[in-house]
C-alpha cells in the first residue's frame, strides 16, 4: 500500500513527496515507506518542512541509530552535523563524489539533510545512481568487480576533518566493491573518491587504474545523475548504500546552512 504521494525527479533516480502532513507527524508505516523509496529510488525530497534542530534529532532516532558529533555547541544536538559555507569558506563540505562515512565497519544507510538557508542560486547537490552505474558496465567488468574488496579509510570522516579525532583513532574497513542492498537485493557499486584508498589484492598501478575507470564512469554518466535544487526548509533523504553525491560550491560568498543526520547501516553484503 502506497501511503505517500510522490513524483519522479528522473525516471530512475529521485522522488519528491507531495503529502501535506508535517514530516514530524509521519507514522512508522510512512517512515518505512520513505526508507523503501530511498532504497529503490536513492533520493527522497520533501519541501516546506518546518522542523527545529531538536525535532530533527528526535526524528533521526526514529530512523535508526544516528552517528554522533560530540563537540557540537550546546544548542546543536549531537545527532546533527552542521553543514555551512559562507564568505569565509575556502571550500564546502562534500565537494567530491562520495557516500557518507563509508570507512566505518557499518557505514551509513540513510542520510537526512535539512537546509535552513540557501543561496539565491547555486548550491545544488548532484546525485549518482550506483545501481545504474553498476548495471551499465560490461558483463565481464561486472563479474570481475564482484570478486574485489576495497580499503576505505577515514580521510573524509567528519570527526577527522573537524579535528576531533586523529586518523588512527577512527576505523578503516574493507568493503566489497559491489554490494547488495538488504531491502531489495539490487547490486550497487560501493567505492568512492572520498574514502577509498586502494583495492585489495591489486598492485598500486592496477588499483589506481580500476578506481579511475569507476570514478570517471560515475562522474561522466549523466544519464545516471540528477540535481536537487535546495530551497529553505527542504529535506533530502538519500541512501548511501546505492547513491553517491557531490555538493556544488558555486555560490561564494553567499550563505548555505543546514543540518545533517546520518543513520548507521549494516555491514555491507557482498554481491
Q: What pTM did the predictor assign? A: 0.95
196's grid cell: 577509498
- The dihedral built from the CA positions of residue 155, 157, 158 and 159, taken in this order, carries a sign that is negative
Classify residue 201 by burial, with Cβ atoms within 10 Å: 0-12, 13-18, 19+: exposed
Alpha helices in the chain (DSSP H): 28-41, 53-63, 130-135, 139-145, 158-161, 204-220
Task: Identify each DSSP E strand in the chain by its residue range.
Answer: 6-8, 15-17, 43-46, 81-85, 108-117, 125-129, 149-152, 173-176, 178-180, 187-189, 196-199, 225-228, 234-239, 243-247, 256-264, 269-270
CB within 8 A of 70, min separation 6: which ones?
78, 164
Give the span between the Cα atoms of 193 and 152, in whole angstroms.
Answer: 10
Report the pLDDT value the prediction gives residue 66, as an integer from 0 to 100.
97
CB within 8 A of 8, min separation 6: which ones?
14, 15, 16, 41
Classify residue 164 by burial, with Cβ atoms within 10 Å: 0-12, 13-18, 19+: middle
CA distance from start to end of the chain: 29
Set out the domains of the chain in order of their start, with CATH numbers.
6-270 (3.60.130.10)
The CA distances from residue 257 to 68, 72, 232, 260, 264, in Å, are 19, 15, 9, 10, 23
Radius of gyration of the chain (CA): 18
Q: What is the largest CA-CA distance in the chain?
A: 54
Question: Which residues does the chain have with pLDDT short of 70?
Answer: 1
Report the pLDDT value the prediction gives residue 1, as an integer from 0 to 100.
61
Q: Give me the half-sphere count of Cα atoms (radius 13 Å) on the Cβ side of residue 259.
A: 23
Contact 135, 117 (CB under 8 A): no
Amino acid at each position: 500500500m502506497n501511503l505517500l504521494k510522490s513524483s519522479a525527479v528522473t525516471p530512475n533516480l529521485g522522488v519528491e513527496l507531495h503529502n501535506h502532513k508535517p514530516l514530524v507527524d509521519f507514522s512508522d508505516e510512512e517512515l518505512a515507506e520513505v526508507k523503501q523509496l530511498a532504497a529503490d529510488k536513492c533520493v527522497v525530497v520533501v519541501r516546506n518542512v518546518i522542523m527545529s534542530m531538536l525535532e530533527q534529532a528526535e526524528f533521526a532516532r526514529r530512523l535508526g541509530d544516528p552517528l554522533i558529533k560530540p563537540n557540537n555547541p550546546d544548542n546543536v544536538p549531537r545527532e546533527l552535523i552542521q553543514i555551512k559555507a559562507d564568505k569565509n569558506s575556502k571550500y564546502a563540505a562534500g565537494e567530491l563524489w562520495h557516500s557518507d562515512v563509508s570507512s566505518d565497519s557499518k557505514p551509513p544507510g540513510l542520510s537526512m539533510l535539512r537546509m535552513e538557508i540557501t543561496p539565491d542560486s547555486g548550491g545544488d547537490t548532484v546525485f549518482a545512481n550506483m545501481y545504474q552505474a553498476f548495471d551499465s558496465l560490461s558483463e565481464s567488468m561486472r563479474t570481475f568487480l564482484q570478486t574485489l574488496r576495497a580499503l576505505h579509510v577515514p580521510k573524509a570522516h567528519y570527526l577527522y576533518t573537524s579535528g576531533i579525532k586523529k586518523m588512527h583513532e577512527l576505523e578503516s574497513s574493507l568493503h566489497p566493491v559491489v554490494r547488495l542492498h538488504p531491502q531489495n537485493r539490487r547490486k550497487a557499486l560501493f567505492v568512492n573518491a572520498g574514502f577509498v584508498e586502494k583495492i585489495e589484492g591489486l598492485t598500486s598501478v592496477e588499483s589506481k587504474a580500476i578506481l579511475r575507470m569507476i570514478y570517471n564512469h560515475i562522474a561522466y554518466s549523466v544519464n545516471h545523475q540528477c540535481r536537487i535544487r535546495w530551497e529553505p526548509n527542504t529535506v533530502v533523504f538519500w541512501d548511501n548504500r546505492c547513491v553517491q553525491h557531490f555538493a556544488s560550491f558555486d555560490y561564494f560568498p553567499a550563505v548555505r546552512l543546514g543540518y545533517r543526520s546520518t543513520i548507521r547501516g549494516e555491514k555491507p553484503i557482498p554481491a
